[in-house]
Amino acid sequence: MSIRADLRNVAIIAHVDHGKTTLVDAMLRQSHIFRANEQVTDRVMDSNDLERERGITILSKNTAVMYKDIKINIVDTPGHADFGGEVERVLNMVDGVLLLVDAFEGPMPQTKYVLRKALEQGLKPIVVINKIDRPDQRVEDVYDEVLELFMELGADDDQLDFPVVYAAARAGIAKMNMEDESDNLSPLMDLLVKEIPAPKGELDGPLQIMVTTLDADEYVGRVAIGRIIRGKAFANQNVIIINGDVETKAKIGKLFVYQGLNRVEVKDAGLGDIVAVTGLGDISIGHTIADAENPEALPTINIDEPTLSMTFAVNTSPFAGKEGQFVTSRHVRDRLFKEVETNVSLRVEETDSADTFKVSGRGELHLSILIETMRREGFELQVGKPEVVYRQINGQLCEPLENLTIEVPQQFMGTVMESLGTRKAELANMSEVAGYLRMEFVIPARGLIGFRSEFLTNTKGNGIMNHVFHGYVPFKGEIPGRARGSLVAFENGETTSYGIFTLQDRGVMFISPNQPVYEGMIIGENTRDVDMDVNPCKKKNVSNMRTSSSDEAIRLVPPRLLSLEQALEYINKDELVEVTPEAVRLRKTVLNKAQRGRDRKSVK
């Protein structure tokens, strides 16, 4: 057994917005990865447009810094439970974790989710209490909460004796005690080198690489990323790819390691290195790249199953093909199956219709990120209402449960409890944290569909909610859906101020004047619980009669503009969201007014 003393592999895990990506930024800057004159953006690791806009990490990223002749491979992981598939695989590449915790918020639900995975794998944790420069920091309380969390998750004695660093990542400062003076991250880097175990294994044994991430490159095809568990890898080396019982001969093309934010081509790499390999053809996550003479498989990776599914279909509205570049079923199908290659928590199934696909993922965010990405790439599609993935367990219909944690000011507690009560949520725990009530519920996953926007309205934007997968339980009975019907346009045309003005009393409008609409398009929410067919294109009759009110200005109430997530939450089973690069529209599945009427009668 050999030890690579010059190498450390560490993952940064934390809840959303606790500063992981900012800390990696500071490490990169202080290790002089960037040239003195180089322009560098903040949160340099969040390279994806959506990541930068939302301030969340969706894809795990690899980087490396040099510190006192020791190479430290750092993997920045997603904090969102919807991207749990990413987290789980990444932890197979490292020997320790930096657990980042906000000095005010303390450990949050998704901290718990990722930490549990890390402790189960026996990884060495270092706790970094970040944002100590916050005026409302409560460092001592947070330390106690972290200790309680470790005990709750069944950490062993060695893991419970975790070292703690206090940091302000944005300022690039870390210290071992709150009273210490420091102007850089050296205390954290020294501790990391000392505490995170160096990679151990057989330096000269037969090659084994576990593929944990895939990347796509338009020039070289699929790029397999993983850690060398044993032996050495060389460019142009003959290998065997092991997938279960199937062994396939292949040849490594180019071999890369990470240096700063870049991949650097190398001739060979050894035990413990995180490498990117090209030329291996149809390789996938969980496969083992093994020595051609002595192929031995590594244990496969378990990934959380999808809990939510939606239908993705070709756009069939009258506006189809007018705003997007990719509009056919072949385009949509190829794009979805390409996504499955790198997005392992996703499932895509073909349906009876060649134009419709069933896509299952870890949550609304997971699926809406995919839809948003596709629309930005120029795709047009229509998607159905999110539905949970049921399972038959011991002959009984079971549904997924989620652990929901909510933080609200006390005055909103009643409305939130009432709203969750109708959604079959059960209160498991309640505590007070710095003037906020923290409530933990167990709730069916389908009870969360559409809850986020209602929650933000009920709390006037002051609430925080997070949820993680809990398990499957027997079906808990019906949950009431949307209480109000839709206002549906019954002809094609362009909306008018007068037409919208005449409808304002009927409900909340989703459209503005001079906007094209079509028959079957949902243009607003009715005040009553039934759908209503209306005409927003109505023009005022021109006559030579003057009335006393004719010169009064038409005053329009501003429309409610729905984001993609809000639109997905809003629709009912007989409705769809039409997504194009230009717009997000709501529509009835059956556009024809007369046909919808006949369908309603046949159901009765």
Do the annotations mark residue 21 as ligand-binding?
yes
Backbone torsions φ then ψ of 52, nearest 5 degrees: -70, -40
In angstroms, the CA 86 to CA 225 distance is: 13
Ranges of H-type helices in 434-578 = 451-458, 497-503, 564-570
Determine the residue type at 234.
Answer: F
Do the annotations mark residue 144 as ligand-binding?
no
Do the annotations mark residue 20 as ligand-binding?
yes
Do the annotations mark residue 133 as ligand-binding?
yes
User: Under 8 Å CB-to-CB from 185, ≥6 apart: which residues?
Assistant: 26, 27, 30, 167, 172, 173, 174
Contact 385, 358 (CB under 8 A): no
In angstroms, the CA 52 to CA 445 distance is: 28
In angstroms, the CA 367 to CA 362 distance is: 8
Contact 415, 439 (CB under 8 A): no
Q: CA of 512: how far to CAs of 67, 319, 423, 497, in Å?
A: 58, 17, 33, 8
**Own/partner pairs, 316-319, CB within 8 angstroms, 24+ separation:** 316/355, 316/382, 317/382, 317/518, 317/520, 317/521, 317/578, 317/585, 317/587, 317/591, 318/492, 318/518, 318/519, 318/591, 319/516, 319/518, 319/578, 319/580, 319/585
In angstroms, the CA 342 to CA 58 distance is: 12
Do the annotations mark residue 130 as ligand-binding?
yes
Do the annotations mark residue 22 as ligand-binding?
yes
User: Under 8 Å CB-to-CB from 421, ≥6 apart: which residues?
Assistant: none
Do the annotations mark residue 132 as ligand-binding?
yes
Quick one: tokens of 99? Answer: 């657990």
80 Cα distance to chain centroid: 6
Neighbours of 37 (CB within 10 A): 5
Do the annotations mark residue 470 as ligand-binding?
no
- Using DSSP's 3-state secondary structure scheme, residue 118 falls into helix
Do the annotations mark residue 141 as ligand-binding?
no
Do the annotations mark residue 601 as ligand-binding?
no
In angstroms, the CA 335 to CA 326 distance is: 10
Residue 359: CA atoms inside 13 Å, Cβ hemisphere, count? 32
- Using DSSP's 3-state secondary structure scheme, residue 5 falls into coil
Of 324, 65, 46, the closest CA to residue 192 belongs to 65
Contact 311, 356 (CB under 8 A): yes
Q: Which residues are annotated as a binding site for GTP?
A: 17-22, 130-133
Q: Which residues are annotated as a binding site?
A: 17-22, 130-133
